[in-house]
Amino acid sequence: MSDYEGGPANDDDLSLPRATVYKLIAEMLPDDVACAKDTRDLLLDCCNEFIHLIASESNEICEKEAKKTIAAEHVLAALRELGFEKYVGEVEEAYGEHRQQQTKDRGRKSTKLNRLGLSEEELLRSQEFLFAQARMRFQNQAAQGAPDGGGGSGGGSA
């Protein structure tokens, strides 16, 4: 792990990155409306608060089910509970996409060796074969070097 400390120095100052939120606000605003600077800061606070809200509610729901890990289902239930049921559809879609991506990543990790389709025994045999070839090449080189009168080092001409 690197020593890069990319976030705020103090854990209590944690917030979403300002630039990201400001950019999103600008992208989301309709063409005929702008946003005042102090309103932007308030919206940033609202976003942070939203995270705390959903986190807290999801955690409660998770505990009620006697589970220790907050799962996707808990987040969806929290959204419904808090009056954000209209978000559930798209959030479920995002969940589906996330799972697809995870399956792809997992598949990619193990294909390297599996793709060859060789068993371990076959791999061992081919490895020994390659060693034998290399050995022969080496011996041939050494044999060719002999007529020069040199030993193993082959030459020594200036």
Partner 1 sequence: MRKKDKTKFPVARIKKIMQMDEEVGKMAQATPVLISKSLELFMQSIVDDVSKHARACNARKISPTHLKRCVESTECYDFLKDIVESVVDDGDGGGAEVCVAKVAEMEEGGVEAQIKSEGLGGGGGGAP
Q: Which is nearer to partner 1, 41 or 128 (CB)?
A: 41
Say which residue the tokens 């400001």 belong to: 22
Residues at the interface with partner 1 (CB under 8 A):
7, 11-12, 14-17, 20-21, 23-25, 27-30, 32-36, 38-39, 42-43, 45-56, 58-59, 68-72, 74-76, 79, 82-84, 86-87, 90-91, 94-95, 98-99, 102
What phi-psi label fits residue 36: left (phi over 0), alpha (psi between -120 and 50 degrees) or beta?
A: beta
Nearer to partner 1, 42 or 116 (CB): 42
Taking the C-alpha atoms of residue 24 and residue 137, their distance in angstroms, rounded to an integer, is 64
Count of Cβ atoms closer than 10 Å to residue 154 Cβ: 13
* Angle formed at CA 4 by CA 54 and CA 110, multiple of 5 degrees: 75
CA distance 131 to 114: 22
- Return the ∠ at Cα 28 (arms to 87 and 88), rounded to 5°: 5
